[in-house]
Structure 1
Amino acid sequence: MSAIAKELPVVVGVDGSEPSLRAVDWASDEAVLRGRPLRLVYASLWERYEGDALAADLGKPPEEVSADDIVEAAARRARSRHPELTTAVEVVPEEPEYALIRESRSATLLVTGTRGRSGLADALLGSVSLAVAGHAHCPVIVVRGNHDNQARSGRHGRVVVGVGERATVTFAFEEARRRGVPLEAIRAWRCPAHETTDHPLLAGEPARLHAQQAVEILDKALQDLPAGVETHRRTVEGRTRTVLVAASYDADLLVVGAKRRQGHFGLQLGRIAHGVLHQSACPVVVVPEQR
């Protein structure tokens, strides 16, 4: 077994749909960037394949497309994109969210597509991607923002991170370094209504304090990062998810954190990550943060 095969792979969930084909493209690029193998996983209890793209490529009607067809076609697509890429395929007799969450325990990164239909395909995030992003043990990339069956990175030349915990900032820094693009670190802030005052000499004080606190949090999160990445810092007044969604329109990748609570079994995303996953104009990375 080669040294690369012993390393944790990039895992991508496939189901034959166009969103999952875009996820395969993105996962292939990520595996090459990291020097890791690619593992393509199909959960056999996923919905029956619905679509024409893969069926047309195989010369079969959609109802005859099998699980083996789906993973082998996805692997061929990945190798066509990167002939040097080491790939492995797996068909798992299990519900997809459970299979992929388990896979995340031994993955360096997990990639999924959006899951929707018709013109709403990229406007709605499917339950599988949402569940995986909310429970995975490794960072999860949900590939959003493309409508042409191709995952294209590098269009805008920047990675954006919503600044919170150190793990999220570190991940975003490494993604920017691998891509050779600048990192934009954003911290949103708001002045609660109850802290405003009618006194003309003090009217701006609460807002100024919250703005300064945002600057301090940003500076602390970015201190001691290695050299080699052009970094831009920005504080913005407004709701965090609104600010980050706006920034996603000019980004190749948006990175956010999600806190994981020991012994908690509900969806562990938080309002910010949940909101940007549904609304982002570019792929989103959710980085688990342990409490």
Structure 2
Amino acid sequence: MTMPLVVGIDGSEASLEAVDWAAGETARHKLPLHLVCAAAPGQEASDVISRASERARMASPSTRMSSEVLHEDAASALVSKGRNAFALVLGSRGLGDLAGMLLGSVSLAVAARADCPVVVVRGAPEHRDARFGSVVVGVEGREGSDTAVQFAFREAHVRRCRLVAVHAWSAPTGAPSEPPPPYWYALETHWRPPTQVLEDALRGPAERYRNATVDRRVVEGPARKALLEAASGADLLVVGAGKRHGHIGLQLGLINHAVLHHAPCPIVVVPHI
């Protein structure tokens, strides 16, 4: 059975923008779409479902669609549905969030707790409507982080666009400010040259997607700055997140928090294996 793309809806304009984006995604991947509305007991949700369903049909008439109303906490309901989903898709802000907030509380909570990729649909129409022809992925050197790279390659493949792979690095304390000569790395057995980190992360997926156009960028400096700059001309930003040791949820960290709050385009948080 094909896992659906699950969209959290609450009637807000941001959640309807998430429906529009998700409908396009289901068409690319040939996935079913499942709309989830978390409502308090006694709250009328039929209008919310109807509006979202109509938006989805307009965006992708051939997509198989289903919906349900869950009378429980929105974040918990969506995290539960995400256990059997291709991905969870959310708007950047909901009806209950304060004006001026950069990211809604439900979206942040789901991104930190879900077991599947979580998409927060952000940005102006040109970013949400895939007009740039570019997917950006942040490349780490940690074990298990290749899941985000694999996700990004697949997205670039189905969108038939280029992939921009960004690896940002900073020299260890006490290291020279300029890129050190090769022998220096040999002395630091835990340290790989930044270009090697990038190539190692791309090698496996690149063999699978041999026709992919990949723009490799190694940047010395803060990762959040490098990713946000790359995302300014992108349709999608993909980042990874590790599991919390001994706790439920993901380690979003400062970089992921920064891009979730400030990315100019839709962003996907992909859990590490």
TM-score (norm 2): 0.87
Q: Is 1:152 the counterpart of 2:128 in the alignment?
A: yes
Q: Is 1:33 the counterpart of 2:28 in the alignment?
A: yes
Q: CA deviation at 1:213?
A: 1.3
Larger Rg: 1
Residue identity in the other structure for 2:253 = G
Q: Is 1:243 the counterpart of 2:220 in the alignment?
A: no
Aligned with 2:258: secondary structure? helix
Q: Which runs of 5+ in 2 are unaligned?
A: 186-190
Partner Cα separation in structure 2 for residue 22 and residue 249 of structure 1: 19
- Give CA-to-partner distance per residue, 1:181-208, whole Å, 9 cap, x none: 0001010011245334xxxxxx736498
Q: CA deviation at 1:263?
A: 3.4
Q: CA deviation at 1:285?
A: 0.4
Q: Is 1:178 the counterpart of 2:126 in the alignment?
A: no
Q: CA deviation at 1:271?
A: 1.9
Q: Which runs of 5+ in 1 are unaligned?
A: 1-5, 49-64, 197-202
Q: Is the 8 A contact 1:125 1:277 kept in 2?
A: yes
- Give CA-to-partner distance per residue, 1:200-245, whole Å, 9 cap, x none: xxx7364986897110000001113221210111101111111101
Q: CA deviation at 1:284?
A: 0.4
Partner Cα separation in structure 1 for residue 249 and residue 133 of structure 2: 36
Q: Is 1:114 the counterpart of 2:87 in the alignment?
A: no
Partner Cα separation in structure 2 for residue 262 and residue 28 of structure 1: 35
Q: Is 1:104 the counterpart of 2:108 in the alignment?
A: no
Q: Is the 8 A contact 1:22 1:151 kept in 2?
A: no
Aligned runs of 1:121-270 on 2, under 5 Å?
Answer: 124-146=102-124, 152-164=128-140, 165-196=145-176, 204=178, 206=180, 213-224=193-204, 225=206, 226=208, 227-261=210-244, 263-265=246-248, 268-270=251-253
1:18 counterpart residue number: 13
Q: CA deviation at 1:266?
A: 5.7
Q: CA deviation at 1:286?
A: 0.3
TM-score (norm 1): 0.82
Matched residues, percent identical?
Answer: 45
